[in-house]
């Protein structure tokens, strides 16, 4: 499977006391008040979840599967290392770069309405912003932003910004050096990116860069007069009744209910639940739930979010050599099945939402720690669901 580097917006907070115990992945109460049933075919899924936890990837893991009319939910480990609370199906968490799929859908909706064109350049919409150090917004198109073929430097790799984002916060809201990390505007993130030369000429290669989607968020705002968050709500979230998905801006807390998010740097699980996600922006600030991400991906791949012509563009990986389309990427499995979706990583949280191409069979799982899981462990989870042994 391809490795797609997702956004890490690291804002550390207080240390936790210890690593939580590993719990069995059992059936959990459903949203309707009934109980999820665990049949024999769910055994490999639960085994894969337990592996992600016992291998030290995270204190807890949870997965939601929709296959036709059936829904299954399973967990392993804990949502709170102090109390032993389990992850619940309706828990909110930071979805990281799964945000990009929503931003891509909003952008392509605007192209379908004729308000944007994939051949538009960054300079046309944001004059003067992408210039200097060999960067030239006149030569970068929306198509290249969406497909990560712009060549723009990923602002999260800027050394100064990276130090700000990884600084340990003190109890007074300042970092360990006494400086205020503060809220990051999209323009400031782009300035950090264009202080570096591009990795290659626009369209010449493929390289994942969060800078691309921050620019797309700014372009959506420029052309509509509303923030990308407002446009996402109006065009995607509200029509699909995704009431548990939100764009927090600089709000540091998660909506209730939620568990905790952890970082393992230093050897112990450190609680990083509260953070200012403004440095993620349109590239990765979204908060959601397993149910909402599953329903969103189902609707998207069924053609209910963007017109079919725009959906085909989202699934077109020709510009990236098969690695990435526009807000979606394919994950081919050993059994011949290919699932489509996106992953997301932000401090204290990792998520993956994938589906068969027709949207009828989705799997969304999450870990309550940052850092991409072992590829073999993730493959085992997907293989258990999409490549059943006959």
3-state secondary structure 137-156: HHHCEHHHHHHCCCCCCCHH
* Tokens linked to 358: 């027709």
Half-sphere exposure of 51 (CA within 13 A, CB side): 16
- Return per-residue pLDDT of the chain as tens, 390 residues: 333 333 333 322 221 222 222 223 333 333 333 334 444 345 889 999 998 887 778 999 999 999 988 999 999 999 999 999 999 999 999 999 999 999 999 999 999 999 999 999 999 999 999 999 999 999 999 999 999 999 999 999 999 998 887 753 332 332 222 223 578 999 999 999 999 999 999 999 999 999 999 999 999 999 999 999 999 999 999 999 999 999 999 999 999 999 999 998 767 899 999 999 999 999 999 999 999 999 999 999 999 999 999 999 999 999 999 999 999 999 999 999 999 999 999 999 999 999 999 999 999 999 999 888 888 899 999 999 999 775
Contacts of 129 (CB under 8 A, 6+ apart): 122, 137, 187, 190, 194, 215, 218
Catalytic hit among 97, 246, 294, 369: 97
| Separation of alpha carbons 260 and 263, rounded Å | 10
State residue 15's pLDDT score: 18
Q: Where are the alpha helices (DSSP H) in the chain?
A: 43-54, 99-112, 122-125, 142-147, 159-166, 186-194, 210-224, 228-232, 290-301, 308-314, 375-386
**For residue 142, cis peptide bond before it (omega within 30 degrees of 0):** no
- Whole-number Å distance between alpha carbons of 341 and 329: 6
pLDDT at 176: 27
Q: Which residues contact 66 (CB under 8 A, 6 or more apart)?
A: 294, 298, 361, 362
- What is the pLDDT, as a whole number, of residue 170? 31
Grouping H, G, I as helix, E, B as strand and the rest as coil, residue 74 is: strand
Residue with token string 């997301």: 344
Nearest to 186 by CA among 159, 163, 161: 161
Question: For residue 163, what pLDDT is reported?
Answer: 83
338 strand-pairing partners: 332
| pTM of the predicted structure, to 2 decimals | 0.88
What are the φ/ψ torsions at residue 29 (nearest 5 degrees)?
A: -60, 140
Q: Yes or no: say if 314 and 104 are a contact pair by the CB < 8 Å rule.
A: yes
Torsion of CA 324, 325, 327, 333, to 10 degrees: -50
349 flagged as catalytic: no
pLDDT of residue 28: 38
Alpha carbon 209 to its chain's center: 13
317: Cβ contacts below 8 Å, ≥ 6 apart: 323, 324, 325, 329, 330
């Amino acid at each position: 499977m391809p490795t797609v580097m997702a956004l890490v917006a690291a804002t550390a907070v207080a240390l936790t006391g210890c690593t939580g115990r590993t719990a069995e992945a059992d059936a959990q109460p459903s949203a309707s008040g009934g109980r999820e049933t665990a049949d024999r075919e769910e055994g490999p899924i639960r085994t894969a979840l337990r592996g992600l936890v016992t291998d030290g990837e995270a204190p807890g893991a949870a997965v939601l599967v929709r296959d036709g009319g059936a829904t299954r939910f399973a967990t392993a480990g804990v949502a709170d290392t102090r109390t032993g609370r389990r992850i619940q199906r309706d828990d909110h968490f930071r979805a990281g770069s799964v945000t990009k799929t929503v931003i891509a859908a909003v952008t392509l909706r605007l192209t379908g309405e004729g308000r944007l064109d994939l051949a538009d350049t960054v300079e046309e919409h944001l004059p003067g912003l992408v210039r200097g150090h060999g960067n030239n917004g006149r030569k970068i198109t929306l198509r290249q932003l969406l497909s990560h073929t712009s060549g723009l430097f990923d602002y999260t790799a800027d050394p100064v910004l990276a130090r700000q984002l990884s600084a340990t916060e003190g109890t007074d809201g300042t970092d360990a050096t006494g400086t205020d990390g503060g809220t990051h505007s999209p323009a400031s993130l782009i300035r950090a990116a264009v202080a570096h030369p591009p990795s290659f000429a626009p369209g010449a290669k493929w390289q994942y860069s969060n800078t691309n989607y921050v620019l797309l968020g700014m372009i959506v705002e420029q052309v509509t007069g509303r923030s990308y968050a407002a446009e996402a709500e109006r065009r995607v979230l509200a029509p699909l009744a995704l009431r548990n998905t939100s764009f927090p801006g600089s709000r540091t807390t998660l909506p209730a209910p939620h568990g905790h998010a952890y970082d393992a740097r230093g050897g112990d699980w450190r609680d990083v639940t509260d953070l200012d996600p403004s440095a993620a922006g349109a590239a990765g600030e979204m908060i959601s739930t397993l149910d909402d991400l599953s329903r969103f991906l189902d609707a998207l791949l069924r053609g209910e979010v963007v017109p079919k012509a725009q959906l085909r563009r989202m699934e077109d990986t020709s510009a990236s050599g098969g690695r990435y389309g526009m807000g979606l990427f394919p994950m081919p499995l050993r059994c011949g099945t290919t699932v489509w979706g996106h992953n997301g990583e932000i401090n204290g949280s990792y998520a993956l939402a994938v589906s068969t191409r027709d949207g009828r069979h989705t799997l969304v799982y999450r870990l309550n720690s940052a850092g991409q899981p072992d590829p073999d462990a993730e493959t085992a989870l997907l293989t258990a669901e999409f490549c059943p042994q006959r």
